[in-house]
Amino acid sequence: MTQTALLTTSEQITLRRVAYGQALPGTLQAQDLKRLRTLGLIDGPPQAPTVTADGQRCFETLSPPVALSDTTVEQALTDMLRSLRQGRNRRP
């Protein structure tokens, strides 16, 4: 079993963000960072974690994130607004 298989979806997202340099303080899940450190996939100071060599290898095996087209995002937002409006209309 690979380390990738041991990571939760949230941990995979956190590893991706660290790898892409999107690890701004306070924006990542503390429990994910702790587990990734325990597994030896990240290191560095808490405010600026970095990917280790093992972390980079693990990152490279992750499935790429799903890219949403502008049309998909627009449709999702439209559906969400419709749902919110319907919920508002049901209240007494």
Residue 80's pLDDT is: 83
Among the listed residues 43, 2, 1, the one whose alpha carbon sits nearest the alpha carbon of residue 15: 43
Question: 58 versus 3: which is more confidently predicted?
Answer: 58
pTM: 0.67
pLDDT at 91 over 60: no
Domains (ranges, CATH) in the chain? Answer: 3-90 (1.10.10)
pLDDT digits (tens, 9 = 90+) for 30-52: 999 999 999 999 999 988 999 99
pLDDT at 19 over 90: yes
If you write DSSP's letter for every residue of 13-60 in order, what string do you get?
A: HHHHHHHTT---TTSS-HHHHHHHHHTTSEES-TTS-EE-HHHHHHHH
Q: How far apart are CA 24 and CA 47, in angstroms?
A: 7
Token pair belonging to 59: 């990152």
